[in-house]
């Protein structure tokens, strides 16, 4: 059985209501195989945590960059709260060892796990906010996300989304505008998955997957930047 007191010890946070912490780490798939589990899945907490996270990050950026326009702040915020950044932060915090998943989901260590890790981070923020208060949630986000990720995002210009950056680099290097095409799509309507390819003229540069065409295009552009060394 997962020992959540170990996670509390790692994070140096003691929950008043341990059920909130447990629920934050309960993936929907876990309930399908564990009917005895008396708590719900973490999607409502994820919904709340997403809002708290966005407010904390927005407030920080607004105060830290008083002379920057809205567009710049929006780009920085998007880079801080995107799935990749949140998944990386979750991994660094050791969240992966505590997520309750079905046996099938537990085997997936690819892109799907990244989304689960990112969603769990948001759910944890929602649980922390409910269990304690906004100030505690803000302190956690500031310490473990903003202070550890923002400097690198700015220095490496990762606040530009991969599609914009790939297009900018492609036009500068070879004078071409990238074109995206659907390679494959699968899954039921409520759970579609897409594979997109990015081309420069007739050259297939890279492919990417995601739960929407837009997400798959972003991943294809990201992979294209790596492939080209841009």
Q: Which domains does the chain have, with CATH numbers?
A: 4-155 (1.10.1520.10), 162-228 (3.30.160.20)
Active-site hit among 46, 50, 105, 207: 50
pLDDT of residue 124: 98
Q: What is the mean pLDDT of residues 197-221?
A: 93
Quote the CA–CA distance of 224 and 230 in Å, as a whole number.
8
71-117 pLDDT per residue, tens: 788 888 988 998 889 999 999 999 999 999 988 777 776 667 888 99
pLDDT of residue 109: 67
Q: What is the mean pLDDT of residues 177-196?
A: 91
189 has catalytic annotation: no
Question: Which segment of 4-8, 119-123, 223-227 scores lowest on mean pLDDT?
Answer: 223-227
Question: Which segment of 21-25, 58-62, 213-217 scores lowest on mean pLDDT?
Answer: 213-217
Quote the CA–CA distance of 40 and 98 in Å, as a whole number.
16
pLDDT of residue 110: 66
DSSP secondary structure string for all residues of 113-133: HHHHHHHHHHHHHHHHHHHS-
pLDDT of residue 172: 85
Q: What is the mean pLDDT of residues 44-67?
A: 96
217 has catalytic annotation: no
Q: What is the mean pLDDT of residues 124-149?
A: 97
Active-site hit among 122, 131, 209, 217: 122
Reported pTM: 0.71
179-186 β-sheet, strand order: 179-186, 193-200, 203-210
pLDDT of residue 161: 75
Q: Is the dihedral of CA 100, 125, 149, 76 positive or negative?
A: positive
Rounded alpha-carbon distances, angstroms, from residue 62 to 77, 139, 161, 177, 198: 10, 17, 20, 34, 35
φ and ψ at 99, to 5 degrees? -70, 130
């Amino acid at each position: 059985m997962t020992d959540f007191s170990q996670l509390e010890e790692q994070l140096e946070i003691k929950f008043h209501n341990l059920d909130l912490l447990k629920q934050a780490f309960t993936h929907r798939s876990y309930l399908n195989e564990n009917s005895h589990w008396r708590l719900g899945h973490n999607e409502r907490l994820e919904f709340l945590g997403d809002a708290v996270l966005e407010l904390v990050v927005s407030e920080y950026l607004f105060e830290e960059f008083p002379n920057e326009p809205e567009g710049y702040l929006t780009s920085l915020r998007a880079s801080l709260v995107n799935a990749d950044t949140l998944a990386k932060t979750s991994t660094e915090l050791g969240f992966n060892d505590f997520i309750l998943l079905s046996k099938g989901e537990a085997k997936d260590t690819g892109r799907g796990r990244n989304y689960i890790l990112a969603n769990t981070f948001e759910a944890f923020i929602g649980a922390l906010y409910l269990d304690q208060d906004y100030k505690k949630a803000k302190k956690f986000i500031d310490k473990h996300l903003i202070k550890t990720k923002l400097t690198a995002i700015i220095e490496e210009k990762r606040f530009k989304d991969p599609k914009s950056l790939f297009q900018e680099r492609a036009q500068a290097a070879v004078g071409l505008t990238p074109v995206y095409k659907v390679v494959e799509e699968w899954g039921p309507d409520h759970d579609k998955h897409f594979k997109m390819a990015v081309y420069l003229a007739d050259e297939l540069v890279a492919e990417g997957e995601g739960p929407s065409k837009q997400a798959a295009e972003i991943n294809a552009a990201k992979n294209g930047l790596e492939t080209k060394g841009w």
